[in-house]
């Protein structure tokens, strides 16, 4: 499964992590110097949820903020129990 929200289409975004050294000018130093830049990914908070779609239960990835907003109708819990074996 790809890391994409089923409803909102949220997916990982690219960004950079900047490593710096030195003391900031406002703290009395001569300024911060960049010593390295690394690419990174900002991943969405995706949760695996069972939903009902066209009468069938399906497991999909959904963004957490979409779940918290109550926009997802989850599949009901299964109430099936195995039959008692008569001996």
Tokens of 17: 């992590």
**Per-residue pLDDT at 44:** 97
Domain membership of residue 49 (yes or no) is: yes
**CA–CA distance from 10 to each of 33, 64, 76 (Å)?**
34, 11, 26
Is the predicted pLDDT of residue 65 greater than 70, yes or no?
yes
Neighbours of 12 (CB within 10 A): 14
Look at residue 84 in the predicted model and tell me its pLDDT.
75
Q: What is the mean pLDDT of the chain?
A: 93
Residue whose C-alpha is closest to residue 49's, from 31, 70, 18: 70
**Structural domains counted in the chain:** 1
What is the span of the domain harbouring residue 45?
A: 13-68
Average of per-residue pLDDT across 39-62: 95
> Does residue 61 lie within any of the structural domains?
yes
Q: What is the pTM for the complete model shown?
A: 0.72
């Amino acid at each position: 499964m790809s890391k994409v929200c089923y409803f909102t289409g949220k997916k990982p975004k690219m960004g950079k992590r900047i490593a710096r050294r030195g003391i900031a000018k406002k703290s009395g130093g001569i300024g911060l110097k960049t010593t390295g830049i690394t690419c990174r990914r900002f991943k969405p908070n995706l949760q695996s949820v069972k939903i009902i779609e066209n009468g069938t239960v399906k497991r999909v990835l959904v963004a957490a903020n979409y779940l918290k907003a109550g926009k997802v109708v989850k599949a009901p819990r299964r109430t099936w129990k195995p039959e008692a074996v008569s001996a």
